[in-house]
């Protein structure tokens, strides 16, 4: 039950992390691409004015489709297509298909823009077209222009956006400083990271709380069921003992008869059932586990049960890898192996085998025997009160192997059972 | 034989007193712990006592000492296998029976305990000995029926088997350790459980 709760918390938490990551990534991707688009609008505006906003005679307000105004720029595909026109600004469709908005060409805006443009001719002569920067020197600007001349548009030195275009057979490089425009984007990024982390922590706490709330009734029910079984078991013990004593008395007083024999048989049957039920309630996750050398214990238990196999004319064989230890309680392992032994005594026709070996980082415990059962999986033998037909000398209530399942599961193990080519195999991985 | 049955459940008491009465035993039944003490103090003597682990008023744990002092062997009835193996380490009882049991289990246990009690035999392995009538290991640590049976099987080199065998083995081993004996019960491949001398560390 504890495990189910942990699983619930983990899965919920994972889905929250996934959703948050998707959402925050999307917000940040959008915010940064918008910033890039806006920067591109600015460089485009500069490009239309042949590299300098101070160039007289050309005002962006009059800017019409570029092929009329600036054939060179149009050839290079620098500028976009006008889609909408109003008094204060222009919406443009950029070459990459996204829409941008070109703000009004106010003198304030132009003067606050930090940028430079250099032209480079075929011989590599660099000429300054415009320089309005204070953070970098003209010399640096020249070097940037030279290093960027084969690009197209993009970011350079973190927060500078550049555009390369051609005017009058010369390569123009315009670089604008966008650090002020990028700052809101970084702020969103930082808020996303911190906010995301806080959300993850809050949701984790919330899920822990919710999990406890949700699973409490289930855990209570589980505990009550175990208590109920334990109580039931105890309540059955005394009457069973008394009935068997009375039956014995009756038998001595009036001699044995079929009815008395039947009562005796039924009492023995119920006694076995009660003992098996007891095992159900004993083994839960809280059982104290120790590092147990199961190789020795298994050899001892199998050697000790050899007479029982010989009694039924069954051949018992086992291969046990020495020195294998498993973290399991002593009682639990004895119960598991004891049930496997009694199972093989019940189902074997002529021989039974046990194997214990290391398997990767786990331990593999396998019991096989020949059987008359048809081929196929038979995991249902692990279900409570299920008895397979054809079991020789059926006895018991079908609780034994279900106890094994409970123990193996409680110890994080796996188990399966199958019949193939007349051999039944029960595999347990611990 | 005079038998005392101390058990809260009256049906149990009457069923077993009838049954044991048929075997020519005199059975006294009491239903709580104080009654046991009263009977003992009013000079009632018993050959053996069958005591429920969870008696009202005075718990079986506290009844064991007065019974032990009067040299009355005790069989403790318990409903939990785990308590049985826990009590075995320290208790002064001679034998344990886990509910539910068959009448033959009780009569068999009574017979065995009485036989031991009246026997003059001494079981011995090296310097470890058990005087059967005492139910003691080397005269100082109390033993239970199952442990003595195990010891007997071991010195006669019999195959050891039985319901709570592992519990008896670990109980006996810890008692041997307490006595500072260098004898332990070990599992030997090809031979099964044997008593062996161990090296002193």
A334 CB near a chain B CB, below 8 Å?
A: yes
Apex A207 CA angle, A204 and A209, nearest 5: 110
Expressed in angstroms, the distance from the first to the final Cα of chain B is: 49
Distance CA B25, CA B12 (A): 16
What are the pLDDT tens digits along chain B (201 aa)?
Answer: 889 998 888 899 999 999 998 888 889 999 888 888 888 888 778 888 898 887 877 777 778 878 878 888 888 888 766 555 555 555 567 787 888 888 888 988 888 888 887 877 778 787 888 877 777 777 777 777 778 888 888 887 777 766 567 777 777 887 888 877 788 887 776 677 778 877 765
> Average pLDDT for residues A35-40, to the nearest whole number?
89
* pLDDT tops 80 at residue A164: yes
Which is higher by pLDDT, A422 or A181? A181
- The pLDDT score that the predictor gives to residue A195 is 94
CA gyration radius for chain A? 42
Q: What pLDDT, in 10s, does the model give residues A77-121?
A: 444 444 444 444 555 555 555 555 555 555 666 677 888 999 988
For residues A387 and A402, the answer to whether their CB atoms sit within 8 Å is: no
Please report how many Cα atoms fall inside a 13 Å half-sphere around the Cα of residue B24, on the Cβ side.
0
DSSP designation for A381: G
pLDDT at A186: 92
Cis check: omega of the bond before B51, within 30 degrees of 0 = no
CA within 13 Å, CB half, B23:
18
pLDDT tier, A280 (very low <50, low <70, confident <90, very high otherwise):
low
The residue written with tokens 């029976």 in the block is: B97
A116 CA to centre of own chain? 51
Specify the pLDDT at position A95: 54
How many angstroms away from the CA of A4 is the closest CA of chain B?
A: 29
pLDDT class of A159 with cuts at 50, 70, 90: confident
A349-358, A401-410, B78-87: least confident range: B78-87
Cross-chain residue pair A248–B99, CB shorter than 8 Å = no
pLDDT value of position A387: 62
* A3 vs A191, residue with greater confidence: A191
Give one DSSP letter per residue of B96-123, joined into a string: EEESS--HHHHHHHHHHHHHHHT---EE
Contact A159, A177 (CB under 8 A): yes
C-alpha closest to that of A131 among A119, A110, A114 = A114
Q: Are A94 and A37 in contact (CB under 8 A)?
A: yes
Q: Compare all CA atoms of chain A with the CA of B13 and give the residue at the minimum distance.
A: A242
Least Cα distance to A343 among A371, A324, A303, A311 occurs for A371
**Please, where are the H alpha helices in chain B?**
10-21, 33-41, 60-69, 81-88, 103-117, 145-155, 165-178
**Nearest alpha-carbon partner for A404 in A311, A350, A342, A315:** A342
- 3-class DSSP state for residue B90? coil
Q: In what order do the strands lie in the sheet with B26-30?
A: B26-30, B2-6, B48-52, B74-78, B95-98
Strand partners, A66: none
Residue B85: list chain A partners with CB under 8 A: none
Q: Which residues of B touch A234 (CB under 8 A)?
A: 79
| Angstrom distance (rounded) from CA B122 to CA B130 | 6
Task: Tell me: pLDDT of A326 over 60.
Answer: yes
Number of other residues whose CB lies within 10 A of the CB of residue B110? 22
Separation of alpha carbons B109 and B106, rounded Å: 5
Please give the Cα distance from B88 to A309 (Å, whole number): 31
d(CA B33, CA A226): 30
pLDDT at A71: 43
Q: What is the pLDDT of residues B20-55, one digit of tens each?
A: 988 888 899 998 888 888 888 887 788 888 988 878
Q: Looking at residue A286, what DSSP letter applies?
A: T
pLDDT value of residue A134:
84
Give the HSE-up count for residue B9: Cα atoms under 13 Å, Cβ half-sphere.
21
Residue written as tokens 């069958």?
Answer: B50
Q: Which tokens is A249 given?
A: 């008395």
Q: Token pair of B3, please?
A: 């038998």
Which residues between 257 and 316 in chain A have a beta carbon less than 8 angstroms from any beta carbon of chain B?
268, 271, 274-275, 278, 282, 296, 299-300, 303-304, 307
The distance of A218 to chain B (nearest Cα, Å) reads: 27
CATH code at A287-429: 3.30.565.10
| Residue A321 pLDDT class (50, 70, 90 cuts) | confident
- Output the pLDDT for position A196: 93
**Are A74 and A38 spatial neighbours (Cβ–Cβ below 8 Å)?**
no
Of A246, A253, A274, the CB nearest to B15: A246
* A403 in Cβ contact with A276 (< 8 Å): yes
Is the pLDDT assigned to residue A191 strictly greater than 60? yes
Tell the residue number behind the tokens 């049957």, with chain if given.
A269
Q: b/e string for A24-38 if b means 16 or more Cβ within 10 A?
A: beeebeebbeebbbb
Distance from CA of B15 to the nearest CA of A (A): 6
Report d(CA A16, CA A198) in Å as an integer.
12
| pLDDT at residue A64, rounded to an integer | 41
Question: pLDDT tens-digit profile of A218-276?
Answer: 888 888 887 787 777 778 888 889 998 998 888 888 888 888 889 888 888 888 777 77
Across the interface, which of A240, A242, A252 has its CB nearest the CB of B22?
A252
Portion of chain A with pLDDT greater than 70, in percent? 80
Which three-class secondary structure state does DSSP give residue B130? Answer: strand
The burial of B109, by beta-carbon neighbours within 10 Å (0-12 exposed, 13-18 middle, 19 or more buried), is given as buried
The domains located in chain B, with CATH, are: 2-117 (3.40.50.2300), 122-197 (1.10.10.10)
Give A59-63's long-range contacts (Cβ < 8 A, gap of 24+). A59/A105, A60/A102, A60/A105, A61/A105, A63/A90
What are the tokens at A123? 């011989």
Q: Where are the domains of chain A?
A: 2-183, 287-429
Q: For the residues of A102-125, what is the DSSP string, one character each?
A: EPP--HHHHHH--EEEEEE-TT--
Is the Cβ–Cβ distance between B60 and B87 less than 8 Å?
no
Flag if A245 and B103 touch (Cβ within 8 Å).
yes
Q: Quick check: A386 pLDDT over 70?
A: no
The shortest CB-CB distance from A304 to any of B12, B101, B161 is to: B161
Gap between the Cα atoms of A420 and A187, Å rounded: 66
Per-residue pLDDT at A76 exceeds 50: no
**CB A164, CB A153: distance < 8 Å:** yes
Residue of chain B nearest A245, judged by CA positions: B103
| Residue the block writes with tokens 């007349």 | A422
């Amino acid at each position: 039950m504890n495990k189910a709760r942990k699983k619930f918390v983990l899965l919920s938490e994972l889905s929250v992390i996934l959703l948050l990551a998707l959402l925050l990534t999307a917000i940040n991707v959008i915010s940064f691409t918008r910033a890039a688009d806006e920067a591109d609008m600015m460089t485009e505006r500069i490009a239309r004015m042949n590299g300098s906003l101070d160039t007289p005679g050309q005002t962006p307000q009059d800017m019409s489709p570029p092929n009329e105004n600036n054939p060179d720029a149009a050839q290079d595909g620098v500028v976009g297509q006008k889609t909408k026109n109003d008094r204060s600004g222009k919406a443009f469709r950029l070459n990459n298909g996204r829409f941008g908005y070109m703000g009004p060409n106010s003198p304030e805006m132009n003067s606050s823009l930090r940028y430079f443009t250099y032209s480079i001719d075929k011989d590599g002569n660099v000429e300054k077209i415009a320089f309005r920067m204070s953070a970098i020197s003209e010399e640096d600007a020249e070097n940037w222009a030279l290093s960027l001349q084969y690009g197209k548009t993009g970011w350079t030195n973190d927060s500078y956006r550049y555009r390369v275009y051609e005017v009058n057979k010369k390569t123009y490089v315009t670089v604008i400083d966008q650090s002020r425009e990028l700052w809101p984007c970084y702020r969103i990024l930082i808020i996303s990271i911190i906010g995301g982390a806080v959300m993850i922590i809050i949701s984790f706490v919330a899920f822990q709380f919710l999990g406890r709330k949700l699973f409490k009734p289930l855990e209570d029910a589980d505990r009550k069921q175990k208590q109920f079984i334990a109580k039931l078991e105890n309540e059955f013990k005394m009457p069973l003992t008394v009935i068997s004593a009375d039956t014995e008395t009756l038998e001595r007083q009036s001699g044995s008869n079929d009815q008395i024999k039947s009562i005796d048989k039924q009492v023995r049957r119920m006694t076995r059932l009660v003992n098996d039920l007891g095992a159900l309630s004993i083994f839960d996750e809280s059982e104290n586990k120790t590092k147990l050398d199961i190789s020795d214990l298994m050899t001892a238990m199998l050697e000790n049960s050899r007479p029982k196999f010989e009694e039924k004319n069954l051949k018992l064989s086992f291969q046990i890898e020495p020195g294998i230890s498993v973290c399991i309680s002593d009682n639990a392992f004895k119960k598991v192996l004891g049930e496997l032994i009694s199972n093989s005594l019940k189902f074997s026709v002529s021989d039974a085998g046990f194997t214990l070996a290391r398997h990767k980082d786990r331990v593999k415990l396998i019991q096989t025997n020949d059987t008359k059962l048809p081929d196929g999986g038979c995991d249902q033998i692990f279900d409570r009160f299920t008895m397979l037909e054809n079991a020789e000398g059926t006895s018991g209530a079908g609780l034994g192997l279900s106890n094994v399942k409970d123990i193996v599961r409680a110890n994080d193990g796996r188990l399966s059972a199958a019949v193939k080519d007349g051999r039944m195999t029960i595999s347990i991985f611990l | 034989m005079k038998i005392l049955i101390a058990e809260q459940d009256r049906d149990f008491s009457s069923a077993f007193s009838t049954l044991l009465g048929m075997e020519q035993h005199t059975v006294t039944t009491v239903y709580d712990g104080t009654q046991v003490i009263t009977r003992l103090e009013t000079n009632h003597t018993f050959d053996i006592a069958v005591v429920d682990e969870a008696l009202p008023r005075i718990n079986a744990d506290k009844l064991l000492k007065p019974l032990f002092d009067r040299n009355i062997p005790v069989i403790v009835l318990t409903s939990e296998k785990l308590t049985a193996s826990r009590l075995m380490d320290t208790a002064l009882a001679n034998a344990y029976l886990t509910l539910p049991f068959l009448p033959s289990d009780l009569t068999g246990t009574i017979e065995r305990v009485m036989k031991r009690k009246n026997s003059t035999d001494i079981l011995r392995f090296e310097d470890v000995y058990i005087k059967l009538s005492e139910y003691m290991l080397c005269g100082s640590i109390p033993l239970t029926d199952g442990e003595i049976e195990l010891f007997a099987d071991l010195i006669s080199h019999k195959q050891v088997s039985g319901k709570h065998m592992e519990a008896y083995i670990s109980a006996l081993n810890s008692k041997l350790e307490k006595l500072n004996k260098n004898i332990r019960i070990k599992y030997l491949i090809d031979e099964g459980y044997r008593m062996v001398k161990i090296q002193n560390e």
